[in-house]
Amino acid sequence: MFVRAYLRASTAEQDAARARSVLEQFATDHSKVIAAHYIENAPGTQADRTELLRLLADSRSGDVLLVESIDRLSRLPAGDWAKLKASIDGKGLRIVALDLPTSHQGMRDTTGDEFTVRMLGAINNMMLDMMAAIARKDYEQRRARQAQGIEKAKIQGKYQGRPVDVSLHARVSELLAAGLGVRATARHANCSTTTVLKIRDRSQGGSLS
């Protein structure tokens, strides 16, 4: 059994590796060692995440996919979650989430106890689906509240959009001017390629607003 830790944050400004020490301590408490860490900044609403796909490609039957919480693994709509879960099941992976106690049995060797494995597996699958649905609902509700807040601010004439990070703009502009490509610039500036493209386009347009 290999324990593979998956850590995700939604944006480049967030620390995707924040929970690394917590996951490592959890593995230690279960007398296990994390064999590999897969860390990325990508939305949980996106199914084709580079590091998650790499984790699936590396995995073998009986390995553990360890996450801090189910929302780190998925905020996908029901159909996309079902496809991802089918891929995970197809690889023979056990999902273990720190916030889902019923999944913790996946860290134990239950060889020879088929009844317990099947019973706990059925309970855990049900709980995983429920937690994934809650994660998606939470995402949709937050998006709806944000949209309502923006609309209200626009009506009141108070909405100005996201403030410009002047230092980041300057750093990205310098790197691009030095001849670095978009991906290399994003890596050195510690931001997303989308951010680099936006800054490049704004700079070419002569405005940072």
* Residue 21 among the catalytic residues: no
Give the per-residue pLDDT at 155: 80
Q: Specify the pTM.
A: 0.67
Sheet holding 3-9, edge to edge: 34-41, 3-9, 64-67, 94-97
**Residue 28 parent element (H or E):** helix 20-29
Cα 7-12-15 angle, rounded to 5 deg: 45
In the predicted structure, residue 207 carries a pLDDT above the cut 70: no
Q: Of the listed 10, 87, 192, 203, which one is catalytic?
A: 10
CATH of the domain spanning 3-137, picked from 3.40.50.1390, 3.40.50.150, 3.40.50.2300, 3.30.70.1450 = 3.40.50.1390
* pLDDT tens digit sequence for 11-32: 877 888 999 999 999 999 999 9
pLDDT computed for residue 25 by the predictor: 97
pLDDT at position 115: 65
Q: What percent of the chain has pLDDT over 90?
A: 42
Q: What is the pLDDT of residues 85-123, one digit of tens each?
A: 999 999 989 999 998 998 998 888 766 666 666 766 777
